[in-house]
Amino acid sequence: DQQVKQNSPSLSVQEGRISILNCDYTNSMFDYFLWYKKYPAEGPTFLISISSIKDKNEDGRFTVFLNKSAKHLSLHIVPSQPGDSAVYFCAASGGYSGAGSYQLTFGKGTKLSVIP
Protein backbone atom coordinates (compact mmCIF):
# COMPACT_ATOMS: atom_id res chain seq x y z
CA ASP A 1 0.00 0.00 0.00
CA GLN A 2 1.70 3.15 -1.23
CA GLN A 3 1.27 5.93 1.28
CA VAL A 4 3.12 8.50 -0.82
CA LYS A 5 2.38 8.60 -4.53
CA GLN A 6 4.01 10.46 -7.38
CA ASN A 7 1.75 9.62 -10.28
CA SER A 8 3.87 11.13 -13.03
CA PRO A 9 7.00 9.05 -13.72
CA SER A 10 8.40 11.77 -15.97
CA LEU A 11 7.98 15.42 -16.92
CA SER A 12 9.55 17.52 -19.69
CA VAL A 13 9.70 21.30 -19.49
CA GLN A 14 11.30 24.01 -21.60
CA GLU A 15 14.12 25.99 -20.04
CA GLY A 16 12.83 29.15 -18.37
CA ARG A 17 9.31 27.80 -17.87
CA ILE A 18 7.75 26.54 -14.65
CA SER A 19 8.11 22.91 -13.56
CA ILE A 20 5.36 21.54 -11.33
CA LEU A 21 5.89 18.20 -9.63
CA ASN A 22 3.00 16.63 -7.74
CA CYS A 23 2.71 14.28 -4.79
CA ASP A 24 -0.30 12.73 -3.02
CA TYR A 25 -0.37 10.99 0.33
CA THR A 26 -2.89 8.84 2.15
CA ASN A 27 -1.70 8.78 5.77
CA SER A 28 -3.36 11.59 7.71
CA MET A 29 -0.68 11.26 10.43
CA PHE A 30 1.98 12.67 8.08
CA ASP A 31 2.80 16.23 9.08
CA TYR A 32 6.26 16.92 7.70
CA PHE A 33 6.98 16.78 3.99
CA LEU A 34 10.21 17.02 2.03
CA TRP A 35 11.44 17.13 -1.54
CA TYR A 36 14.73 15.60 -2.61
CA LYS A 37 16.60 15.79 -5.90
CA LYS A 38 18.64 12.83 -7.10
CA TYR A 39 21.16 12.33 -9.89
CA PRO A 40 22.03 8.79 -11.09
CA ALA A 41 24.48 6.90 -8.87
CA GLU A 42 24.37 9.64 -6.21
CA GLY A 43 22.52 10.08 -2.97
CA PRO A 44 19.42 12.31 -2.79
CA THR A 45 20.00 15.96 -1.99
CA PHE A 46 17.56 17.74 0.30
CA LEU A 47 15.77 20.62 -1.47
CA ILE A 48 12.97 22.00 0.63
CA SER A 49 10.51 20.96 3.32
CA ILE A 50 7.19 22.05 4.80
CA SER A 51 5.38 21.25 8.02
CA SER A 52 1.63 20.81 8.18
CA ILE A 53 1.09 24.09 9.98
CA LYS A 54 2.04 25.93 6.79
CA ASP A 55 0.65 25.83 3.27
CA LYS A 56 3.61 27.32 1.43
CA ASN A 57 7.37 27.48 1.79
CA GLU A 58 9.80 29.18 -0.56
CA ASP A 59 13.53 28.90 -1.08
CA GLY A 60 14.87 30.74 -4.09
CA ARG A 61 13.50 29.16 -7.28
CA PHE A 62 11.79 26.38 -5.31
CA THR A 63 8.35 26.63 -3.71
CA VAL A 64 6.43 23.83 -2.03
CA PHE A 65 2.66 24.04 -1.60
CA LEU A 66 0.69 21.86 0.81
CA ASN A 67 -3.06 21.22 0.62
CA LYS A 68 -3.87 19.18 3.71
CA SER A 69 -7.54 18.71 2.93
CA ALA A 70 -6.66 17.17 -0.42
CA LYS A 71 -3.58 15.39 0.98
CA HIS A 72 -1.58 16.88 -1.86
CA LEU A 73 1.67 18.73 -2.19
CA SER A 74 3.51 20.17 -5.13
CA LEU A 75 6.96 21.51 -5.92
CA HIS A 76 7.25 24.49 -8.25
CA ILE A 77 10.57 25.35 -9.88
CA VAL A 78 10.70 28.78 -11.52
CA PRO A 79 12.47 29.34 -13.83
CA SER A 80 13.51 25.83 -14.78
CA GLN A 81 17.14 25.31 -15.76
CA PRO A 82 18.86 22.40 -17.54
CA GLY A 83 20.77 21.64 -14.33
CA ASP A 84 17.44 20.89 -12.66
CA SER A 85 17.14 17.73 -14.77
CA ALA A 86 17.08 14.90 -12.21
CA VAL A 87 14.71 12.57 -10.39
CA TYR A 88 12.66 14.31 -7.69
CA PHE A 89 11.38 12.38 -4.69
CA CYS A 90 8.61 13.45 -2.39
CA ALA A 91 8.86 12.15 1.21
CA ALA A 92 6.71 12.37 4.33
CA SER A 93 7.01 11.60 8.03
CA GLY A 94 4.76 11.43 11.05
CA GLY A 95 6.88 14.22 12.47
CA TYR A 96 5.71 15.85 15.61
CA SER A 97 2.67 13.62 15.85
CA GLY A 98 5.00 10.84 16.82
CA ALA A 99 3.77 8.24 14.36
CA GLY A 100 7.16 7.04 13.16
CA SER A 101 8.71 10.37 13.99
CA TYR A 102 12.02 9.53 12.44
CA GLN A 103 10.87 7.51 9.47
CA LEU A 104 10.50 8.94 6.00
CA THR A 105 8.15 7.36 3.49
CA PHE A 106 9.19 8.08 -0.10
CA GLY A 107 7.31 8.25 -3.37
CA LYS A 108 8.72 6.51 -6.43
CA GLY A 109 10.03 9.70 -7.97
CA THR A 110 9.42 11.87 -11.02
CA LYS A 111 12.13 12.28 -13.64
CA LEU A 112 12.31 15.92 -14.70
CA SER A 113 13.93 16.83 -18.01
CA VAL A 114 14.52 20.52 -18.70
CA ILE A 115 15.01 21.09 -22.40
CA PRO A 116 17.37 23.93 -23.42
Q: Where are the beta strands (DSSP E) in 3-116?
A: 4-5, 10-14, 19-25, 32-38, 45-51, 56-59, 62-67, 72-77, 86-93, 105-106, 110-115
| In the complex, minimum distance from the CB of residue 72 to other proteins, in angstroms, rounded to a whole number | 17
Among 37-45, 54-62, 65-73, 74-82, the segment contacting other proteins (CB under 8 A): 37-45
| In the complex, minimum distance from the CB of residue 17 to other proteins, in angstroms, rounded to a whole number | 26
55 binds other proteins (CB under 8 A): no
Q: Which residues are CB-neighbours of 86 under 8 A, at least 6 positions away?
A: 37, 38, 39, 111, 112
| In the complex, minimum distance from the CB of residue 99 to other proteins, in angstroms, rounded to a whole number | 10
Write the DSSP symbol of residue 84: G
Residues that bind other proteins (CB under 8 A): 4, 9, 32, 34, 36, 41-46, 49, 51, 89, 91, 93, 95-96, 101-104, 106-109
